[in-house]
């Protein structure tokens, strides 16, 4: 019931939040500045996460603790290695870019294509800002009311949160069983170590940008991270993320209401780290030699695929299959890690959501510093 209520309200809330976020920041230069700072931070943090995952997997070597003979057909040993495809052909990029534009926005909303929904909302918001205020005011008022109604429904859903967390985690352990978890313990420990390192880096950045102690930041976001862990979906907790960053961390609405929906779709640092570990792990299991260009490919594709991945449980496996195909690792490896993917998916979702929060704090910190410097410069010029 909890998940159904949250998912029911995600699309209306995203559309209303992005349009109202653009309306609250009726300054094209400021929007461009916020978007560029956020995008640079997301790309750097995602690439760093993938690199951390590769580094840990190369040093811990979890693949050497797993016997893959049951996955490999002895008669097919000479041809078991897939052909490395490398980077996609340049001719494919125009089609991939045009596919992001929703031909039918209602169909995109119905199917949960969040990136297309966000693009539609952004275009709608910019178009509303470009027409006279008298004409755009009725629609802005309607979307403002829709946003408040959505947040009220979210507050009702949060009453079920304690029971929902208990039920989700209990079902997870009951379905997986302890045998699966112990058999892949080293691999899981490697991924979890990387996630802890990434979370520590995020908290370090948050303490600087918010000018708060670690304990204060952690207390403010702990319920959000627990809920993200339980649901395994950045999109499912997006409404709560908005409430936390605005009410507890005091992020300006013009920043949070634009960046939180965007971050839930394109900010997938935990997923990128997981792909780095999983790819090297499976390469070790199947004795596939990875070159320097393969590692560059893993990082690049982890960043690119994470940005375009859906903010739903299990999306990491879909992206991982693309990365494995690119470096020539057999797809049979997916079966090996599928058993423990759910628990790791929940852990990396928590880091993804923490990344959305920290992106907002970084953008507000940077824009405040830039604005203060501009004001100081103007004051000096006036004095001169």
Residue-wise over 327-353: b if at least 16 C-beta within 10 A, else e? Answer: bbbbebbbebbeebbbbbbbbbbbbbb
Q: What is the SS3 assignment for 290? A: coil
Most confident of the following: 26-40, 193-207, 226-240: 193-207
* 325-344 average pLDDT score: 73
Q: What are the extents of the domains in the chain?
A: 27-104+176-383
Handedness of CA 351, 224, 360, 112 (dihedral sign): positive
pLDDT of the residue at 322: 66
pLDDT of the residue at 56: 93
The beta-carbon contacts of 170-173 under 8 Å, at least 24 apart in sequence, are 172/342, 172/343, 172/346
Question: What tokens does 96 get?
Answer: 């991939």
Report how far apart, in Å, the C-alpha atoms of 337 and of each of 50, 90, 303, 327, 340 are.
18, 31, 21, 17, 6
Contact between 45 and 272 (Cβ < 8 Å): no
pLDDT of the residue at 180: 52
Give the distance from CA 25 to its chain's centroid. Answer: 24
**Rounded Cα–Cα distance for residues 100 and 205 (Å):** 31
Mean pLDDT value across the chain: 78
Contact between 129 and 22 (Cβ < 8 Å): yes
Closest CA to 118 of 224, 2, 13: 13
Q: Over 70: is that where the pLDDT of 39 sits? A: yes
**Rounded Cα–Cα distance for residues 32 and 138 (Å):** 26
Q: Over 90: is that where the pLDDT of 208 sits? A: yes
Looking at the chain, the whole-number percentage of residues with pLDDT higher than 70 is 76
**Rounded Cα–Cα distance for residues 23 and 186 (Å):** 49
Give the distance from CA 92 to its chain's centroid. Answer: 24
Q: Over 70: is that where the pLDDT of 183 sits? A: no
Report how far apart, in Å, the C-alpha atoms of 217 and of each of 105, 119, 284, 370 are.
37, 31, 38, 24
What confidence category does residue 88 fall into, taking pLDDT thresholds of 50, 70 and 90? low
Which has more confidence, 376 or 104?
104
Looking at the chain, the whole-number percentage of residues with pLDDT higher than 90 is 17
Fold of 27-104+176-383: 1.10.3860
Which has more confidence, 1 or 191?
191
Q: Over 90: is that where the pLDDT of 362 sits? A: yes
What is the per-residue DSSP string for 74-124?
GGGGGG-SPPP--SPPGGGHHHHHHTTS-SSHHHHHHHT-HHHHHHHHHHH
Most confident of the following: 26-35, 146-155, 225-234, 328-337: 225-234
DSSP state of 244: I
Of 34-38, 97-101, 211-215, which range is least confident?
97-101
pLDDT of the residue at 317: 65
Radius of gyration of the chain (CA): 22
pLDDT of the residue at 23: 67
pLDDT of the residue at 359: 93
**Rounded Cα–Cα distance for residues 106 and 117 (Å):** 9
The per-residue pLDDT for range 231-279, each reduced to its tens digit, is 777 777 888 888 899 889 989 888 888 888 878 777 888 888 988 898 8
* pTM, entire model: 0.72
Q: Over 70: is that where the pLDDT of 176 sits? A: no
Q: Over 70: is that where the pLDDT of 71 sits? A: no
Residue-wise over 17-30: b if at least 16 C-beta within 10 A, else e? Answer: bbbbbbbbbeeeee
pLDDT of the residue at 44: 92
What are the counts of helices (DSSP H) followed by strands (DSSP E) for the chain? 16, 0
């Amino acid at each position: 019931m909890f998940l159904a209520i949250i998912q029911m309200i995600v699309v209306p809330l995203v559309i209303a939040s992005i349009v109202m976020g653009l309306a609250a920041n009726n300054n094209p230069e400021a929007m461009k500045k916020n978007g560029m700072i956020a995008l640079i931070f997301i790309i750097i943090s995602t690439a760093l996460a993938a690199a951390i995952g590769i580094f840990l997997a190369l040093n811990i070597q979890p693949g050497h603790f797993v016997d893959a003979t049951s996955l490999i057909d002895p008669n097919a040993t000479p041809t078991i290695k897939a052909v490395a495809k490398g980077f996609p052909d340049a001719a494919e990029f125009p089609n991939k870019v045009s596919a992001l534009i929703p031909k039918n926005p209602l169909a995109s909303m119905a199917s949960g294509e969040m990136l297309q929904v966000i693009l539609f909302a952004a275009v709608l918001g910019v178009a509303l800002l470009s027409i006279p205020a008298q004409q755009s005011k009725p629609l802005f008022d309607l979307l403002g009311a829709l946003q408040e109604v959505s947040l009220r429904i979210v507050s009702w859903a949060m009453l079920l949160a304690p029971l929902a967390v208990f039920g989700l985690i209990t079902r997870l352990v009951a379905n997986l069983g302890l045998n699966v978890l112990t058999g892949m313990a080293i691999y899981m420990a490697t991924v979890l170590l990387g996630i802890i390192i990434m979370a520590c880096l995020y908290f370090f950045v948050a303490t600087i940008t918010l000018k708060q102690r670690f304990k204060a930041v952690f207390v403010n976001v702990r319920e959000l991270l627990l809920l993200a862990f339980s649901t395994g979906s950045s999109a499912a907790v997006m409404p709560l993320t908005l409430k936390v960053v605005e009410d507890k961390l005091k992020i300006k609405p013009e920043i949070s209401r634009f960046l939180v929906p965007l971050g839930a779709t394109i900010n997938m640092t935990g997923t990128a780290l997981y792909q780095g570990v999983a790819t090297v792990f499976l390469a070790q299991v199947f004795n596939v030699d990875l070159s320097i260009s393969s590692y560059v490919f893993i990082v690049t594709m982890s960043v690119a695929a994470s940005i375009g991945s859906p903010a739903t449980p299990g999306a990491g496996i879909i992206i991982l299959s693309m990365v494995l195909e690119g470096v020539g690792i057999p797809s049979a490896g997916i079966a090996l890690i599928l058993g423990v993917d759910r628990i790791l998916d929940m852990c990396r979702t928590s880091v993804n959501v923490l990344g959305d929060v920290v992106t907002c704090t970084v953008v507000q910190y940077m824009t405040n510093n830039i604005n203060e410097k501009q004001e100081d410069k103007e004051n000096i010029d006036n004095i001169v």
